Each structure stands twice: as C-alpha cells, then as structure tokens.
A and B are shown apart, each in its own frame.
Chain A
Amino acid sequence: ETGVTQTPRHLVMGMTNKKSLKCEQHLGHNAMYWYKQSAKKPLELMFVYNFKEQTENNSVPSRFSPECPNSSHLFLHLHTLQPEDSALYLCASSQDYSETQYFGPGTRLLVL
C-alpha cells in the first residue's frame, strides 16, 4: 500500500467503550498529525508527532490518548467519549513541518 491509510473507516461506539484508531504512512515521513473534522467547523489540529515525539496536543481532552510507537504508525486511543466527539478523524503526515501534508481517508466516528 502507498500513502496514508487509516483503520477502521467507520466506527460506532458507546460512551463507556474503549477503542483505538490506527494510522499508517508509507511515505517515509517524519511528522504525523491527528485532526478532528466536525460538521460546520474548520479542521482542528489535535496532536503532532515529530520523530515519534509529541510536540503539541492543543488542549485536547484526556479521553483522547495518542500513541506513536515509530515514525510510520500513529494511534488514537479513545475512552469514555461523549456524543459531541462524533466526527471525522483524519490522520496526516509530512516530511517536515514546512512540507505538504498528506492525508488519510479518515475514520468516521459515531458516539452513542
């Protein structure tokens, strides 16, 4: 596979569930990002990882927990989410912060 892949593509979970989103990039990039896209709102940057080190979390609630085991994989662990967390979660990568970001197809999350 090439580019940036995300799994699962769709996820429905209850507020007490624990689930994880996975992102993998096959581009040899150094930086990876998690974004949240809600209806009628601009894309919001959640987390940035550079060389596996988290550099920004943008005040995201602790019910979202990122993990970056290596420069190619990024996870977003979810627990005790709220219905307002329902959104499209997008992963992206870039060679450097100053370079073009390449996005995955996203995970459509619905919290009941």
Chain B
Amino acid sequence: KQEVTQIPAALSVPEGENLVLNCSFTDSAIYNLQWFRQDPGKGLTSLLLIQSSQREQTSGRLNASLDKSSGRSTLYIAASQPGDSATYLCAVGPYNFNKFYFGSGTKLNVKP
C-alpha cells in the first residue's frame, strides 16, 4: 500500500520568508501528484497538479517539483504572506485511478 509522508507536520515562519514543504511516497509507480491547501474547517483547494512525466509545475509564487525515482515532491513558496497560512496536503494518484493517497499535511503559519 502506498504511504505518503509530509514533513514537517507544522511550520511557523515570518512573513516574506521563502519556504519548502516536503512530501515523500513509498511507491514510485504514480500517475500524478497534487498539492492542495486546506483552510480550517473547509474543503481543499487545488494548487498544482504534476503528471508523472513532468518534473515541475509553477503557479505564481508556488513551484512544485516531482522526483519519481526518489519518491519525493517539494512545494516551494516564495515570499510567504500571512494569507498563505493553511494546511498543505499532497496526494498521489497511482495508475489504478481508484485509489488516491493523501499525506497528513503540513500546517503552515506565516506571522506578520
């Protein structure tokens, strides 16, 4: 069974800092990897989707990379803002499309 781990579990940084969130998975046979953010008590918002044939995706201040062979993905947030405070989740989708595995998330707090 695929296992997805996110480190760190929580992170607190001052505003303006660049930061990296990590996601690792045990089975490299994945079809895609998605990063989401979740605000307290709310649903998930998709940030970036990386197909297995891609190495990275960028959207604004966010950049996500994927290294299938090592089973790792990183989410880079540039010039962090208080509005970035949320829990960030990664999810891997295997070739068996019926199963998606989520990590436990990294709770980010950006202090003004």
Task: List chain A positions with a Cβ less than 8 A from chain B.
Answer: 4, 6, 33, 40-45, 48, 55-56, 58, 88, 90, 92, 97-106, 108
Contacts and interface: CB of A to CB of B under 8 A. Distances in A.
Given A42-B104, A56-B99, A58-B99, A102 B42 contact: no
Residue of A88, A92, A100 most packed against chain B (CB within 10 A): A100
Given A98-B97, A99-B49, A43 B89 contact: yes
Top 5 A-B pairs ranked by shortest CB distance?
A97-B97, A56-B98, A103-B43, A43-B102, A103-B44
B103 interface: yes
Contacts, number: 60
Size bracket, chain B contacts: 20 to 34
7 contacts: A4-B43, A40-B104, A41-B104, A43-B44, A43-B89, A105-B42, A105-B43
Contact of A42 (B4, B34, B41): B4
Interface in B16-72: 31-32, 34, 36, 41-46, 49, 51
Contacts of A102: 46
- Grouping DSSP codes into helix (H, G, I), strand (E, B) and loop, the B interface class, with mixed when no group exceeds half, is strand
Nearest to B97: A97
Contact of B32 (A56, A92, A98, A105): A98
B43 A97 contact: no
Contact of B93 (A58, A90, A98, A105): A98
Given A101-B34, A103-B45, A108-B41, A42 B99 contact: no
B105 to A, nearest CB: 8
A106 B42 contact: yes
B51 A98 contact: yes
Contacts of A104: 43
A42 B102 contact: yes
